Structure 1
Amino acid sequence: MVSFRTTFLALAGAIAVSADYWVDPNTVLLQDRMAWCNDQRSVCPILCLQTTTDKPRDNSCDAEKLTYGCVCSDGKQPNITEYTLTLPYHVCTRWGTDCVADCGSDNDCSYRCRAEHPCGAQNPTPVNATSSTTVEATQTSTPTNQVYDGFGTDSQGSSEPKNTAGALRFGDSFGLAVVAGGLFAGFAMLL
């Protein structure tokens, strides 16, 4: 039997789209709304993997009304508005497109439509996060006067790779010079 709490969470999720941005569903092609719902139903289980491996209790989306539900099996509900490719994301981007269209040729207005109303992943909060921690950097035993020659060894002759990027860049350049020189010599012999 479905509990009152689960029903309440599902209803809260279903009206969440209208809490942020709203577009008239009739102004969006049905095939677009159906694609938005497919995205929503694909994202919900992925977000629920942060706290559980089971299927979500509610993973619904109504393309006719532009409503959705996403309740994980453990009862947690991720803040869908913080993620990309969710129904709120699509509604928000459509709202921004409509806002820009309403601005006409006013570039400042068009800019504000997008800049002041970002959609999707800005700084998502994981649903399983309980507190934040700070990791302090520690000093390693590497000498501060270390010199790297760029060829994968340090100035003391250690064979431990240190900076192989310089050696790779040198190899790329040298290899190109060898190939170009070979082609030039080949053409010179033909003449």
Structure 2
Amino acid sequence: MVSFRSTLLALASVIAVTADYVINPDSVPLSTRISWCNDQKSSCPKICLQTTTGQPIVNDCDPEHLTYGCVCSDNKQPNISEYTLTIPYHTCIEWGNQCVTGCGTDNLCAADCREDHPCGAQNPTRVNTTSTSAASSTAAPTSSSSNSVFDGFAGDSGSSSSGNNAGQNAAGALRFGSSYGLAVVAAGMFAGFALLI
């Protein structure tokens, strides 16, 4: 007789696999798939703790077929594809690796494999609230645009009603650093070599 847990696991696995990049499980060594399943089973309880307490109702993974189930104690299935060290993340990375291999020496094709198919969260949902010692209340989660830089605590939208632009300045500094950081390092190395000559 099939148990309720087995039925729930099968349903969760089918739902989870439909959102993933599909790879042939046999194209990855079994030892690697076992490692991926260990990552998945370690990640599920941590992901569930963001919205509920208690151990997950379902936390299983089959390395033979790369199917998995993660159902939290509140009977909800989190969007596992938004997290690293999960089966969807590992299969997405492997799908990209196989895509690049299939491109051969075509660099544009290889770049499209990675750029057009990013893995992990592109715009993660902030579900936990955080408070700081300087804040008078707990910060609430906010939604942000897909082009924003996450640069503070949950609820820090980058500006406040009092006109404080600290969040915007921090975001601007991060964008400046990511844009010009390599140029600064290269200039420093060039100056160092110039001094040696």
Distance (Å, rounded) in 1 between the aligned partners of 2:102 and 2:10: 32
Shift of 1:126: 4.8
Stretches of structure 1 that go unaligned for 5 or more consecutive residues are 142-191
* 1:13 maps to 2:36: no
**Paired position in structure 1 for 2:69:** 69
**Paired position in structure 1 for 2:46:** 46
> Secondary structure at 1:20's aligned position in 2?
coil
* 1:81 maps to 2:81: yes
Distance (Å, rounded) in 1 between the aligned partners of 2:44 and 2:126: 13
**Paired position in structure 2 for 1:138:** 161
- In the superposition, the TM-score normalised over structure 2's length comes to 0.62
> Secondary structure at 1:53's aligned position in 2?
coil
User: Over residues 61-109 of structure 1, what are the superposed CA-to-partner deviations in whole Å (9 max), with x where a residue is unaligned?
Assistant: 0000100000001111110011111001000100000000000011000
Distance (Å, rounded) in 1 between the aligned partners of 2:19 and 2:161: 45
Shift of 1:123: 1.9
**Paired position in structure 2 for 1:103:** 103
**Paired position in structure 2 for 1:35:** 35
- In the superposition, the TM-score normalised over structure 1's length comes to 0.63
Structure of larger gyration radius: 1
Distance (Å, rounded) in 1 between the aligned partners of 2:113 and 2:53: 38
Distance (Å, rounded) in 2 between the aligned partners of 1:63 and 1:114: 25
> Secondary structure at 2:19's aligned position in 1?
helix
Letter in 1 for 2:43: V
Give the number of the structure with larger relative contact order, counting CA–CA contacts within 8 Å between residues 6 or more apart: 1
Stretches of structure 2 that go unaligned for 5 or more consecutive residues are 130-139, 144-154, 165-197
Identity fraction in percent: 54
Letter in 2 for 1:138: S
Letter in 2 for 1:72: C
